[in-house]
Structure 1
Amino acid sequence: MHSDDFFDLVDRLAIADRIESASEVIGDFTRAWGLHNVAYAALNMPAPGAAPRPLLSVTYSPEWQKHYAQSGYVDLDPIVRAGLGGILPIDWAEIDRGDPIIRKFFGEALELDVGANGLSIPIRGRTGEFALFSVTSDQSESDWRAMKRELIRDLMVVAFNFHAAALRACGAEEEPATHLPLREASCLRWKALGKTDDEIGRILGISPHTVRFHLESARARLQTANTTHTVAKALAVGLINMSYEPSHLIPKKRR
């Protein structure tokens, strides 16, 4: 997905205040990446308008949704369990399928058009809410492996922005933006644009080691799991401006 199109999509998510409008944006993301399904489920949403049952937005077939509910899969879903037990992206292919019940779960999911491959992003909010944002694909195993690394980066940004839209839709207050020093924000901005530490260092006239220092400092400041998570959160709460880089941060070329 072209970076300009991607950040236009993120900007649209940032102003969405209804699940329906946010879901329309996610539909564009899904088509751009050639994905098959997308699902968002949230628990304990911190808002007066939040329903006592999970908040759901899914494109799975009605047959799978009905079968999932009737089979009581919410209590044994290995993807949900992995999300509740960790903070990192979940590649469905890496989930242990030694248990016959888990093999049956994935077999039925494939049969009912969920998708052959999947990635899920666990999200934990400041007031105890938990959400899981998932996408699936019917690509071949080799094609899926080839696109997965880049997809995870974009998916984390989209997942956190969709969750922020869901909070707004429920009437929750936005998380106050934490101040980021200009250099940290600049390094995160270039990371969001896909630059390596070495490339960022050359752009800003600093060493790759200093770039990593600023990224780690931002990660600690925002209490995130890794750099991708830091970029996603910084975008979600408006701490980096993708269309503007302060000119004084970029060293002038010598004549």
Structure 2
Amino acid sequence: MITLERQSILSSEISAVDCPEDIGPAFARITQAFGFRYYLLLNALSRPQEASLARLVIEGDLPEEYIQEYDRQRLLSACPIAAIVAKSPTPVSWSIDEPDDLRGFSFPDAIIELQRSHGIGSGVAMAFRSLAGPTYTTFIFGSRPRLTQDELNEMGMILLHAFGAFERLNHPQAPAAPASLTTRELEVVRWTAQGKTSAEIGRILSLSDHTVNAYMSNAIKKLDCVNRTQLVAKALRLRLIN
């Protein structure tokens, strides 16, 4: 499936989510659309007192025997992903077949062996901070090659959209936006959430690249963000876009 078609289909499906029971199937569809097999939506991995993966799971279809063995070996405290994902505003991806220096971090042998035994060779993780306070993490696993950078960017936007639906249904009293964006700024942010570049947005809105970037910079400042990805994430959580 080409990128724009995949984005359009997934975005439409996520926008149609209107009850908590639809959240799991939405994450499962994202997982399948990118060629992965399993997903988990977890409460924050950074809870120092929590040693059980099973107790963190909100939604997911990872085999129960995987989670049981993971907890039996107490692998949660040995997993390097929690600290890395907590500091990253964008998704983190990996392949267990890559050398540690290329991957950027090292998995314990026990985690690699467990993943191999369940046909898992690669994954993606992304953290989300709710406006209501809690932090969540999504994991997606499979046997496909590691995502390309373009695929990773696309998945990041779609996961943000899905989390926006999750927060809308689970935290309906989330705080209101701290600042208003103009109509043009909102248009630019909406197209950015669809994976468009400044040049593409300029052609769509009949604006120069410089003007698009200026609108983007203004929106980033107003919502107290540091980059486009964080801007889209916050705009989704504030329900400025959907």
TM-score, structure 1 normalization: 0.74
**Deviation per residue, 1:13-70 (Å, 9 max, x gap):** 4x33x1x3211122222222222111111139xxxxxxxx535212211121001111
Contact 1:83 1:121 in 2 (8 A): yes
- Secondary structure of the residue aligned to 2:136 is strand
Deviations 1:144-197, CA, capped at 9 Å, x for gaps: 44xx33332343334334434444555552342452111111112222333321
Which of 65, 86, 96 in structure 1 is aligned with 2:105?
Answer: 96
State how far apart, in whole Å, the 1-side matches of 2:90 and 2:118 are. 27
Structure 2 counterpart SS, 1:157: helix
Q: Distance in 2 between matches of 1:74 and 1:212?
A: 41
Amino acid at match of 1:126: L
Q: Match for residue 135 of structure 1?
A: 140
1:219·1:225 contact (CA, 8 Å) conserved in 2?
yes
Partner of residue 109, structure 1: 115
2:188/2:212 contact within 8 Å kept: yes
| Number of aligned positions between the proteins | 221
Unaligned runs of 5+ in 1: 45-52, 242-255
Gaps of 5+ in 2: 46-54, 96-102
Q: Hey, what's the Cα distance between the residues in 2 that align with 1:22 and 1:160? A: 13
Identity %: 22
Letter paired with 2:8: D
Q: CA 1:204/1:35 → structure 2, altered by over 3 Å: closer, same or farther? A: same
Q: Supply the distance in 1 between the matched residues of 2:65 and 2:151 (Cα, whole angstroms).
A: 28
Cα distance in structure 2, aligned partners of 1:240 and 1:92 = 30
1:5: how far off?
0.9
Aligned pair partner of 1:121 in 104, 122, 126: 126
Q: Distance in 2 between matches of 1:81 and 1:230?
A: 22
3-state SS of paired residue (1:211): helix
Which residue is equivalent to 2:223? 222
Match of 1:182 in 2: 183
**Contact 1:63–1:112 (8 Å) recurs in 2:** no
Match of residue 159 from structure 1: 159
Change (3 A) 1:224 1:165: same
